Structure 1
Amino acid sequence: MVDAFVRPARSEDADSVARIQLETWRTAYARVVPEAVLAALDADDVAAQWRSAIVEPPTPRHHVLVATEGEVAVGFAAAGPATAEDLVGPGYTSGERPDGEWDATTLAVSTLLVEPRWGRRGHGSRLLAAVADVARENGFTRAVTWALDADQASRNFLESAGWAPDGVGRVLDMNGTEVPELRLATEF
């Protein structure tokens, strides 16, 4: 039996995290994200951004986690304190928070991806459980994440784990193409 687990990302994981992000986006989001946007993503640039996030996170409460199977990185998650932009809409008081200030009680999960060829092996669930553990350890009582409206698989996965749409959406401008997202939330 192959060992599968989740651990904090290390600097040397940045290339694998970039590979997972690019492969997943190019496979799962090819019909949603404009081709020009996907083609413009440079593996070295993406890896450098992830290396920075891993080595120099904005706060000690920001985390990048890596799911592995054997020695292979197969998925990752990134999360940290929510910003005012994450907390627009009913039920949140982010309007009173100055721009750039981190929320003390709400975690924002910015990314949770498992490379498609490694799907359906429990890696996503392990990542989500590890994110919840990190959240509790860091004093967060709730979490939010944004999912592409067209990404029904991710939405179904999150909803099966107790997350729910909270009625707030936004539209991303990706190279002139509007891509709607829906916010999902949960409490710990």
Structure 2
Amino acid sequence: MDIRQGTAADAEAIAALHTRSWRTAYAGIIPDDYLNGSLADEQAALWRHRLTGGDPGHLLIADNGDGMAGFAYLTPKGDRILLDNLHVDPGLKRSGVGGVLLRHALDRAGTQELYLEVLKRNTTAIAFYERHGGTKAREFVERFPEGFEVDVLEYYWSGIRSDTVPRRSSHAS
């Protein structure tokens, strides 16, 4: 599997994968009318903005030879790095793609703390982050502009080298 830096040419494919991932992972957690409504258009606008210089983040794309298998997006936040997105094509879950992307994100963060926010009811993702050495830091409620709220957990990795993160060849997200 190759990991490459994303470009503006990837915006449409990233938005489509991001939307598919949300619709799969967040079904029953986020209202269906949002997941099946404006989400796709919002993701398209977000990724066009991010990848045309509108955001200082860094996009990592996993290509498994058949196309885009997943992606991770990192954004500097003061002295920490936010892993703002880590999504794997829903048909490739538990294939190792998520673990590879997480290790690359940790390498990219270097000695800075890497953190992410995950929906509390997304137990599959939480189990993945915990298997890969993530430490739960805090819990909060996120309010979406569309009028709903979700419970969120923050996980972090502090100064961890990717070669110390557990590898699970066939059981990673």
TM-score of Structure 1 vs Structure 2, range by shorter chain = 0.7 to 0.9
Structure 1 segment 75-86 matched on structure 2, within 5 A: 75-82=70-77
Runs of 4+ in 1 over 4 A off after TM superposition: none
1:56 aligned counterpart, secondary structure? helix
Check whether the contact 1:75–1:123 (CA below 8 A) recurs between aligned residues: yes
When normalised by structure 1's length, the TM-score is 0.77
- Rounded to whole Å, the distance in 2 between the matches of 1:44 and 1:37 is 11
- Rounded to whole Å, the distance in 1 between the matches of 2:33 and 2:39 is 12
- Rounded to whole Å, the distance in 2 between the matches of 1:10 and 1:183 is 28
Structure 1 counterpart of 2:101, from 119, 124, 127: 127
Check whether the contact 1:57–1:63 (CA below 8 A) recurs between aligned residues: no
| Corresponding position of 1:21 | 18
Relative to structure 1, the CA distance from residue 28 to residue 56 in structure 2 (aligned partners, 3 Å threshold; closer, same or farther) is same
- CA displacement at 1:45 relative to structure 2: 4.5
- What does the per-residue CA deviation read over 1:30-53, in whole Å, with 9 as the maximum and x for residues that have no partner? 110111211223535522321321
| Corresponding position of 1:100 | none
Matched length: 158
| Corresponding position of 2:87 | 113
2:94 aligned counterpart, secondary structure? coil
Which amino acid is 2:150 matched to? V
| Corresponding position of 2:45 | 48
| Corresponding position of 2:30 | 33
| Corresponding position of 2:58 | 63
| Corresponding position of 1:146 | 117
The gaps in structure 1 that reach 5 residues or longer are: 83-102
When normalised by structure 2's length, the TM-score is 0.84
Which amino acid is 1:19 matched to? A
- What does the per-residue CA deviation read over 1:8-45, in whole Å, with 9 as the maximum and x for residues that have no partner? 11212111111111111111111101112112235355
Give the alignment's Cα RMSD to 1 decimal: 1.6
The gaps in structure 2 that reach 5 residues or longer are: 160-173
| Corresponding position of 1:99 | none
Check whether the contact 2:49–2:55 (CA below 8 A) recurs between aligned residues: no
Q: Percent identity?
A: 28
Which amino acid is 1:35 matched to? D
- Rounded to whole Å, the distance in 2 between the matches of 1:44 and 1:10 is 19
Which amino acid is 2:98 matched to? G
- Rounded to whole Å, the distance in 2 between the matches of 1:179 and 1:44 is 21
Q: Which has more radius of gyration?
A: 1
1:40 aligned counterpart, secondary structure? coil
Relative to structure 1, the CA distance from residue 130 to residue 57 in structure 2 (aligned partners, 3 Å threshold; closer, same or farther) is farther
